[in-house]
Structure formats: C-alpha cells, structure tokens
Amino acid sequence: MTTEKPSLRELCVREALAIIEADGLENLSLREVARRLGVSHQAPYRHYPSRDHLLAEVIRRAYEGFAVYLDSHRLNGHPSADLHAMGEAYLRYALAHPLQYRLMFGTSLPAPAQHPDMLASGRHAFDLLRHAVERLHDQRGGADLATVEKDALFIWSALHGLAGILQSGALATLDLSESVTSGMVAHTFQRIGVALGD
C-alpha cells in the first residue's frame, strides 16, 4: 500500500511551522521555506502569494485545532460545570500545544480583513465560551449581551494569564510553597466562580 505524498501546499505549511518553532517567527520567509524544501524559491508563491498568506494558513490551522479540541470535550448541560470543563480543556490545550497557542494568542496576526478564514475557528472557540456564560446567566435570571461578553472576556483573560504563567517557568523563580503552586489552578477556577456569582 502506497501513501500519497503531501502536496507542496501542505509541505509549505509544515515547514513554516518547523521554522517558527526552531528559529522564531522573524525567520519565516517563503524563500527560506523553499530552500529547506529543496524547491525553487518561486515554487511556494504558487500557493501563497506572500509570507502573510502562509502565516495566516498556519494560524488558521492552529485555531481550527483549538476549536476541534474544545468541541471534543463533552459538556453535561450544567452551566457552571461546563464552564469549568471548558477552562480545564483550554489550559490542557495551551500546555500541550505551546507553539500553536503562542501563534494564536501571542503573535501579531496578518491583517484579518485580508485573511478572513484565519479567525473563523477562533471566533467559534470564543462563541463556545460566550454561550456557556450566557447559559450561566440565564440560569440566574438573564443578563444583557454586553455583560455576557464582558464576563466571557474576563474568563478568557484569567485563563490566558494562567496559561502564560504555567508555560513560562516563572513560578520556579518565586519562593512559593508546593501547596500554593499545586493549588493555583483550582484556586483560579474557584475565584472565577466567585466573580461570576457561583
């Protein structure tokens, strides 16, 4: 049985990700992708008119993988428990896929207006959070859309900050007890719950 060889389009995306991981985003160029793939320097331009087009595709796939990961976690229909499960899934993804996470949330994105597909899955991931927050408010009598979205942004900000701390190794530089560091995630979730009136 023979396996189909990946297309040049696919190989460009894979190589771009490898370059970013090994040498940093600033070293990504279509010329470097071509050099590493052993093709003419013009070949990648048949699929990606510019570096930003290639980067937008790499980021689009990161958002897509993130959205699929969040979607794959079953929710039980209880708003508080569902929000907690989504938060845990968010952190697991961030820690298991640090490069993709950094590309989505720590990179200057190519102009979204020129790459509309890039953020579609990212918006889907935020919609999951927004709907979970909306269900929580509905359970308590409802809230206007602005409040729901502000609460969703609050949760996202807290989780993003926590993910950044856990990824950075900054905790190791602090003189904190094991009971503090090991309980940090649970405490963060508990305080988010308090802030939301849980």
Separation CA 145–CA 151 (nearest Å) = 10
Return the CATH number of 1-48, one of 1.20.59.10, 1.10.10.60, 3.40.50.300, 2.102.10.10: 1.10.10.60
Which pLDDT does position 30 carry in this prediction?
96
Angle, CA of 156, 161 and 165, to the nearest 5°: 145
Nearest to 95 by CA among 160, 165, 167, 162: 167
Q: In a 10 Å sphere around its CB, with 0-12 CB exposed, 13-18 middle and 19+ buried, how is residue 43 labelled? A: middle
Angstrom distances, CA of residue 98 to CA of 9, 44, 138: 24, 26, 34
Is 28 within 8 Å of 20 (Cβ atoms)? yes
186 sits in which H/E element: helix 184-195
Which pLDDT does position 41 carry in this prediction?
92
Does the structure show a pLDDT above 90 at 79? no
Instruction: Give the amino acid at 102.
Output: R
Q: Domain 57-195 has what CATH class?
A: mainly alpha
Which pLDDT does position 182 carry in this prediction?
87
- pLDDT one-digit tens code per residue, 139-179: 888 888 999 999 999 999 999 999 999 888 888 888 888 88
Share of the chain above pLDDT 90, in %: 60
Mean pLDDT of the chain: 90
Domains in the chain: boundaries: 1-48, 57-195
Does the structure show a pLDDT above 80 at 105? yes
Find the mean pLDDT for residues 116-121. 88
Angstrom distances, CA of residue 130 to CA of 27, 90, 92, 95, 135: 36, 14, 19, 22, 9
Give the other-Cβ count within 10 Å of 70's Cβ. 19
CA gyration radius, the chain = 20
